[in-house]
């Protein structure tokens, strides 16, 4: 019996030592990651907590949870400024974002199919010029675009924000779809041509159904950009009833930068809800689309 205890005790000590070493390794590996995640999420969590703090009491304080929670900021913020409720800005932004998605999917997929599957003069040169436009900052084209739309009498309408979406000017999405379509075997096109299909039927019946991950990626990025766009609506929209969510948030600020700050926090939190929902719904397709096109 004594011999058995002498044999088992070193084994138990060795297992305890191995277990402590494993825990220490896990802490050393996961500890910095947890600290980094908390640091990244702190501003977002602070914003959510500040939206429930009375008035502007959260400004200048570091704790996430307020001393006293209230829904007054959400009620006052949703009532809006003046006679325009914040729901108007939500409806305007949602309409612009959804129409922008339709426009980009319509124009960019057709342009991408032409560059990926069709042969025409100066195809490579035109595609290179399209890619060069990705390098241009938006500020370079703002003034010429404003002059054109102003001459057309479209300022203070949604035309300048929506019409470009139907002309495939977002070169990044066209490039993304070109890369994805090039990955689809051309033997499918040849089999369809044997059955008598032309470019239109190949595009709608074969290419589009297989491009679902890339289409979802384009739709998600278009929605995020359109929903968060501040400069475009600021330039072209003058009537408050046409304002979008970013412009609506700016209505809560005055020259001092502190008025209705609680309502600003509350509506900022609500403005994030559509982005979180669309990302959660399309997360799988978004990941697949980015991974597939990025591998080319």
Query: CA separation (Å) from 226 to 171, 231, 233?
Result: 15, 11, 10
d(CA 187, CA 286): 26
pLDDT in tens, 260-292: 888 888 999 999 999 999 888 887 777 776 666
Residue 293 pLDDT: 58
Residue 152 pLDDT: 93
Residues 6+ apart with CB under 8 A from 28: none
Residue 136 pLDDT: 83
Residue 236 pLDDT: 94
Asked whether the beta carbons of 289 and 220 are under 8 A apart, the reply is no
Residue ranges of the chain that CATH labels 1.10.3720.10 = 82-251
d(CA 255, CA 268): 19
Q: Please identify every stretch of the chain with a pLDDT value under 50, giving residue numbers as ranges.
A: 1-2, 295-296
At residue 170, the 3 state secondary structure works out as: coil
At residue 84, the 3 state secondary structure works out as: strand
- Output the pTM of the full model: 0.82
Closest by CA position to 249, among listed 263, 238, 239, 236: 263
Residue 140 pLDDT: 85
Domain covering 82-251, topology: MetI-like fold (1.10.3720)
Name residue, tokens 């599957």.
Answer: 117
Query: CA separation (Å) from 57 to 46, 71, 77, 228, 269?
Result: 13, 14, 16, 27, 17
pLDDT in tens, 174-204: 998 998 999 889 888 889 999 888 999 999 9
d(CA 36, CA 30): 10
Closest by CA position to 278, among listed 226, 209, 243: 226
d(CA 80, CA 86): 5
């Amino acid at each position: 019996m004594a011999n058995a205890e002498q044999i088992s005790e070193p084994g138990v000590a060795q297992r305890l030592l191995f277990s402590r070493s494993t825990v220490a390794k896990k802490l050393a590996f996961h500890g910095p990651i947890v600290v980094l995640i908390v640091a990244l999420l702190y501003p977002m969590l602070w914003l959510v907590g500040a939206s429930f703090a009375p008035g502007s009491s959260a400004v200048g304080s570091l704790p996430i949870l307020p001393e006293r929670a209230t829904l007054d900021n959400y009620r006052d913020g949703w009532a809006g400024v003046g006679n325009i409720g914040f729901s108007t800005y939500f409806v305007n932004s949602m309409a612009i974002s959804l129409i922008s998605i339709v426009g980009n999917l319509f124009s960019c997929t057709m342009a991408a199919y032409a560059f990926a599957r069709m042969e025409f003069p100066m195809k490579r040169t035109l595609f290179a010029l399209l890619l060069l436009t990705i390098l241009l900052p938006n500020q370079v084209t703002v003034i010429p675009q404003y002059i054109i739309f102003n001459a057309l009498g479209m300022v203070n309408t949604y035309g300048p924000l929506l019409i470009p979406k139907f002309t495939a000017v977002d070169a990044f999405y066209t490039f993304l779809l070109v890369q994805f379509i090039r990955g689809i075997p051309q033997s499918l096109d040849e089999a369809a041509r044997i059955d008598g299909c032309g470019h239109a039927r190949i595009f709608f019946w074969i290419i589009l159904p297989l491009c679902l991950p890339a289409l979802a990626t384009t739709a998600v990025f278009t929605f995020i950009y359109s929903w968060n766009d501040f400069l475009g609506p600021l330039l072209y929209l003058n009537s408050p009833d046409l304002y979008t969510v970013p412009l609506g948030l700016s209505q809560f600020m005055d020259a001092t930068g502190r008025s209705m700050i609680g309502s600003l926090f509350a509506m900022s939190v609500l403005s994030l809800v559509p982005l979180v929902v669309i990302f959660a719904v399309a997360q799988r397709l978004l990941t697949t689309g980015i991974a597939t096109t990025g591998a080319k």
